[in-house]
Every structure is written in structure tokens, then in C-alpha cells.
Structure 1
């Protein structure tokens, strides 16, 4: 997919050199995802905000395809994902979601995972971000992840417990343990698809910091060998279906498991689909070509 680069709101990192830590505009964020529940710190709040974020903000890697790594600075994420008709990929989504959960009163640890979808046994680097969430008053922790660009991604936060099956939004997930030579066995997220459980990614509970994700983000967005650098990936979850666009192939998967696949005809149709089906307004002057 050929591309040209054009700066736009949310795509050009702003200057945050004042030394003050930026704060999330929680009201604007909750309005963006359409959530208006009681702001109490509970597992149900975690699950419902997770679902609302997944439905409210699309997954997309437009900026990487246009030639640069997106900023992970909170003001830039708010400008792009909250105040614009845009989305982002895992580092953007989960950095924003972590800030929202912390503003609501949850404890959050940032983790990194090795994606296993289509890995065919290969050991990939840790290039996916997810969150481990503490709910005050509860002894168990929860895994949250609003940025996995696949129908196998979590629909809501799930307990960090072995073998507990969680179903919702036409999806089913569980966590299993796997022996590992590190300090603890691995946790593996699995989803039930095509009549079988399949691995999505594997992770440990080692905390990762913002700087770690800055490096991984740059690698994923700019390395010529990274698929995110040259192939458009767009996802959106609705109450009725999951929409996935890879390059110019559109797949709609409904809650009953039925799929519809079609090929977009030209760049003009691509732009229309991004706008109408995914709620994404491309940066002014940007061209995404076949």
C-alpha cells in the first residue's frame, strides 16, 4: 500500500516541556466512549468501561502506514483518540485506557506480551501492550486490553485466574499457564474460535515502563519488516458485529459467527468505508493507495 505523509491533529507530537505531568480529561474521555455509569471503583465498572472503550474508539495504524510512529504522550493521545475521529493501535489505546482507569481509582501495571496469532511456533519479541488491573478491596487482579487488533481480543477485563472462561460480545476467553524458564510460568490468553481454543499472546507479570513502550512503538511503526509499517489494519467492535479491514479486504464477523468478506474497489471506497463504517477521518491531504 503506497502512501504519502501529511501532518494532522493528533499526528504531530506536541511540546510538553513544562515539567508538569499531563492529566487526563476524564469527562471528555467518558463522553467519547459513551459511558455514563457511576464512577465507583469496582470490577463491574472495569468491565463496562472496557466494553465501552472497545466499541467507542476504533483500532487503526494509519499513522504508521503514513510513515511515522504515533506519539504516546497523553495530550497527543487525547487530541487524536478522544477529540478527533481517529483511533490507534495497542500502545495508544492501552496507554489512554490506563490513564482513565487510574483517574477512576484503579491500580494499573503495564505489561508486554508476545503475540502468538499465526506465529506457527515462532518466539516473537514482546510487541504488544496489555494491562494488569488492581481493584481496591479485591484480592484478585484483572487483565484488561482494549488494543488488541483482532477479533480474538478481550471484550472486557477478565480475572487473572487459570481456566476461568469469560464469554461476552460473541467472544470467549480464558487464561492458562505454561512452563517457562523465567521467574514465573507464563500466562497465555486463549480465545475459542472455529471450535477450538487458540493462543492469542503470552505474558508475564513483569512491569514495563513508558520508555519501554516508546522503544517498542517506534520499532513497530518504522521497521520495514513490521507489517504495521506497510499494511493498513483497522478494526471496530459494535454490538452486532466485528469489522476488520486488512489492506483493502473487509471482513464482517457477526455475533453468531457468520462472516462476510469483500474487496474494496479503489482508494475512494477505502476512504468512504473508513469514514462510514469505522468512524475514522483521515488526516487532511493523506492518501492511502492500493
Structure 2
């Protein structure tokens, strides 16, 4: 077959038009998270769908523990997080959620952050994905993040406003500004934990593209030094509690702040707890 694509004036061949991007099955997604509200791009919709996602789809890094990077292609995310009894980590959750928000009529800017939980002052690379959301008709923008695997993560999207305390369910958050040598000061998400504010992550509003996340995702899932390669991390948020499994240590944090911790006996109990408590069904040939 002869290629009839004409060269440009500088002698290069123009890029072929890309195929139409895959369309999200919004009905299947909303059924998965148990949301049946009015499909309009409002702040109320954003908050309630955000909460439904956090409580409906677990966080897990099983694929990274097994040594491969999960696909961020929308059909693969739907097969795993929507139609399968599985979860994912931040790139999977927030890539899927961005597609959901855009299908509902919101504007979405994809961002990255430096995680500060457990950093003890160290400056980590930007490896966490989060979203900045525009609500039609509103001047203010919202921070959305359904993929932060920590008890201090957001339950609902919060306004991008410095100093305003927001109580989303049983959690309290605020955003603060911090001096930075870049083009703008940092935004820092903090959660009120115990009796003090604790940094969760820091970010700027610089947009990132899907190709950026492909690189970060591959690095975090395959680099032997990545924490996601070292141990199993699974999280689930329910209206009553937050469940966190790290390796074989299971921690339950209830809405009143009380914690219960126990060590799972072995692989068989890990698999049972993943199925019963987290709603994660692993293939039979997977051994953790």
C-alpha cells in the first residue's frame, strides 16, 4: 500500500490523526461505587461522587509487589477497578476518576505531589497523582484525590483555598501555603491527626500529562527501591472505619480515632482478609 500522507513544508511527515479515545462506561462506574445522584457538574456532585469512589474502590499495590506496572489505559482500568473485584494505587484511581469527572462535565487538571507522610523532612520526588477540578459557574477550584493510600487522605474534594478547615466526614483537612523557590509557593495538604496538623503532601498547580504518569508509574512499580515493590499496601475506607494492611499487619482506625492492630497468620489469612474485608479477589495463581 502506498502512503499518500503529504510531507510538511519542512520535509517531515505530519503525525497521523489518533484514533478516537475509548469512552468511559459511566453507568458501570457509578454502579460500582453505588452512586445514583443527579448527573450534573456541581460542587455537591463532585463531593458526593468523590466520597462514593473512596468508599467503593480499595487502594492496593498487588501488581507492583509482583513486579510489573499496571496499565493506565482506560479500558484496562475499567476491567480492573470497575468490573473486577480489585483496586489500584494513585495513578489508576485518579486517572479513572479524571475520566469520570470529565464525562460529568467538569474541567480537570492533572497534578503531581511530593508525599510527606513519613518523610521526616526529606524531600521526596513528585510521585503522587492528584487532580485540580473546575466546577462550571464557580470561580474557585477544588482539590480532588481518590488515590491517596493513607488514613489522612481526602474523603471529599475540598476548595483550593489556603487556611480554610474542612471537615469531610470524620476527617479534618486544610491547605496551607509554603514558600518555595519555584514559580509559585507550595500548596500543602494537612490532616488533623490526634491533636496536631500533619502534612500529607505538597504540590504546585503545574499541569502534568498522561505520558508523565506512564513514566512515574513504571518507576514506582518496577524500581527495586520503590516502597511499592517492598511490601503489600492495601487500604479501604468505610463509613465506620479505615482499614490498612501493610505486609501482614492489619490496622483498623475507627471514626472516633481508636485503633486496633493485629498480625495476620500467613498467606491464606491474607487472601481471606483481602476478600472478606477489602473486597479484593486475587487470581488463584497469585501468591503474596
Deviations 1:74-105 (A, max 9, x none): 00000000000000000000000000000000
Alignment partner, residue 263 of structure 1: 263
Structure 2 distance, partners of 1:224, 1:67, is: 9
Alignment partner, residue 254 of structure 2: 254
TM-score by length of 2: 0.93
Where does structure 1 lack aligned partners over 5 or more consecutive residues? 1-17
Structure 2 distance, partners of 1:80, 1:153, is: 22
Structure 2 distance, partners of 1:150, 1:217, is: 18
Runs of 4 or more above 6 Å deviation = none
Structure 1 residue matching 2:99: 3-state secondary structure:
helix
Does structure 1 conserve the Cα–Cα contact (< 8 Å) formed by 2:26 and 2:103?
yes
Structure 1 residue matching 2:272: 3-state secondary structure:
helix
TM-score by length of 1: 0.93
Is 1:234–2:234 an aligned residue pair?
yes
**Larger Rg belongs to:** 2
Structure 2 distance, partners of 1:44, 1:253, is: 27
Alignment partner, residue 54 of structure 2: 54
- Offset of residue 169 of structure 1: 2.5
Pairwise mapping of residues 264-283 of structure 1 onto structure 2 (< 5 A)?
A: 264-283=264-283
Deviations 1:188-234 (A, max 9, x none): 00000020001000000000000000000001000000110120000
- Offset of residue 40 of structure 1: 1.3
Alignment partner, residue 10 of structure 2: none
Structure 2 distance, partners of 1:169, 1:229, is: 32
Does structure 1 conserve the Cα–Cα contact (< 8 Å) formed by 2:115 and 2:201?
yes
The structure with higher relative contact order (CA 8 Å, sep 6+) is 1
- Offset of residue 284 of structure 1: 3.0
Structure 1 distance, partners of 2:283, 2:80, is: 11
- Offset of residue 263 of structure 1: 0.3
Does structure 1 conserve the Cα–Cα contact (< 8 Å) formed by 2:141 and 2:160?
yes
- Offset of residue 41 of structure 1: 1.1
Structure 2 residue matching 1:21: 3-state secondary structure:
coil
Structure 1 distance, partners of 2:40, 2:147, is: 23
Structure 1 distance, partners of 2:67, 2:125, is: 22
Structure 1 distance, partners of 2:282, 2:211, is: 28
Deviations 1:10-68 (A, max 9, x none): xxxxxxxx822111100000000000000111000000000000000000000111110
Structure 2 distance, partners of 1:264, 1:154, is: 28
Structure 2 distance, partners of 1:116, 1:287, is: 31
